[in-house]
Amino acid sequence: MAFFTSEHECKLDAKGRLVLPSRLKSVLPEASKKSIIIRKGFEPNLIIYPLHEFQNIYTRINSLNEFSSEQRKLKRNLFSSISQVDLDSNGRFLLPKSMISHTGLAKDVILVGMGNVIELWSPYNYNKYLINDANEFSKLAQKYLDE
């Protein structure tokens, strides 16, 4: 199982390609060293999944009831926001233009290890979604992590 942590500053090239930092690439399972799944996040970010992690999500999405209009809508929106991309031998991959627009990316990129997935952000948007108050962070940790 992959375990991603830390923030990684990267650059998007003029063609919309990004190099996965070696520290993140080294944690990828062998099957994901050639191909990864990218999903538009619910915030203005992207979620990068190793193939085996995405299988869990795929199974849940695919099991939605096709006879329910609400579940079809959810399924349609989730599947349309997903792309499988190939990594070259240097760990470089091309971000689809719709995903670049969704995140507001220019040149600078922040990759954030989130345990089993990686989040991809523009620095501007990332800083807007961080908790900058230690007291607020402490209360949130207590709410969800305190037994």
Domain hosting 92: range is 7-145
The answer to pTM > 0.75 is yes
**The token pair that represents 137 in the structure block:** 């962070």
On whether residue 140 sits in a domain, the answer given is yes
On whether residue 1 sits in a domain, the answer given is no
Least Cα distance to 17 among 71, 85, 117, 82 occurs for 85
On whether residue 106 sits in a domain, the answer given is yes
No. of helices (H) and no. of strands (E), the chain: 6, 8
Q: Which residues pair with 83 in a beta bridge?
A: 38
| pLDDT for position 9 | 96
Say which residues have a Cβ less than 8 Å from residue 56's Cβ, sequence separation at least 6: none
Per residue of the chain (147 residues), give pLDDT as tens.
678 999 999 999 999 999 999 899 888 877 777 899 999 999 999 999 999 899 988 999 999 999 999 999 999 999 999 999 999 988 899 999 999 999 999 999 999 999 999 999 999 999 999 998 999 999 999 999 986
| pLDDT for position 71 | 95
On whether residue 2 sits in a domain, the answer given is no
Alpha-carbon distance 68 to 27, whole Å? 39
On whether residue 108 sits in a domain, the answer given is yes
On whether residue 97 sits in a domain, the answer given is yes
On whether residue 125 sits in a domain, the answer given is yes
Say which residues have a Cβ less than 8 Å from residue 144's Cβ, sequence separation at least 6: none
Q: Check which CATH number belongs to the domain holding 136 and give it.
A: 3.40.1550.20
Q: How many structural domains does the chain have?
A: 1
| pLDDT for position 1 | 66
Q: Is 17 helix (H, G, I), strand (E, B) or coil?
A: strand
| pLDDT for position 91 | 87
**The token pair that represents 41 in the structure block:** 């996040």
On whether residue 36 sits in a domain, the answer given is yes
What is the helix, strand, coil percentage profile of the chain, to 5? 40, 25, 35
Specify the pairing of strand 82-86 against strand 92-94. Answer: unpaired
